[in-house]
Structure 1
């Protein structure tokens, strides 16, 4: 885990691979809870029998937005940012979904620090996020996550 105490320490990480989180299994219960929370009950996510019989993946798949919502959880396994008065999930850019995450797949986040800038006391950090799927060559997604920090 990377420990970051201030802007200067963050800036030194610019252009480097911050690290990789531990593996997280996305099970059907998590998919169903996400479907309930977002009111997105499309059969490819929640109907196990139909997905197995009619679906292109022979199983249910996680919502793309479910996999995106794991970024804060997985990021906290990679970096501990200390001395922060406030942290804001500011945005996401250039995200592309490569392959679906099937039920019971294990995923992890690989994070590279693309840029770190001090904007008059607010530190803007752009992290290139890649969600890897165990035993898959292509990532589930790649894109940039933007965090704002007030140290």
Structure 2
């Protein structure tokens, strides 16, 4: 799916309830998991000790940090959504975040975005997106969250 282009707030309001973005697949390899561990200081063995994770983990392999998966929403949203005439877009927060299924090292993930709410704010709009990060071949999503963004014009 190509990026959905918005011409403004009225355009966004007209698209409420629609799926407006499907990102490309992205590989979550061990190198990315290790880099995230170093940046955040979260070096729990289930993420970074490949041999131990294969032996002792209930998943049979190292898994990505939940927050690594969640952090990809910004990248995926930028692939899927563009806005004409915008001065600034910011992440405002998250609602109802759940990590339904682990992302094993070597898996590919992508995100879907449905526009759930659009509210006027001074100078722009606040939008709530139902975001789901899927695992290729998986039956449950890796992550589901309501992503709150603000657009300023």
TM superposition score category, shorter chain reference: over 0.9
- Deviations, residues 84-143 of structure 1 (Å, cap 9, x unaligned): 111110000101110100001110001100011112323100000001001011101111
Find the residue that maps to 2:17 and give its secondary structure: coil
Q: Matches of 2:61 and 2:143 in 1, distance apart?
A: 19
Displacement of 1:6:
1.1
Q: Matches of 2:91 and 2:110 in 1, distance apart?
A: 19
Displacement of 1:74:
0.6
Unmatched 5+ stretches in structure 2 = none
Find the residue that maps to 1:30 and give its secondary structure: helix
Unmatched 5+ stretches in structure 1 = none
| TM, length-normalised to structure 2 | 0.95
Give the equivalent residue in structure 1 for 2:110: 108
Q: Which runs of 4+ in 1 moved over 4 A?
A: none
- Deviations, residues 19-61 of structure 1 (Å, cap 9, x unaligned): 2111001001100110000000000000001001111111100
Q: Matches of 1:19 and 1:127 in 2, distance apart?
A: 10
State the superposition RMSD in angstroms. 0.9
Q: Matches of 1:82 and 1:65 in 2, distance apart?
A: 30
Give the equivalent residue in structure 1 for 2:55: 53
Q: Between Structure 1 and Structure 2, how many residues are aligned?
A: 151
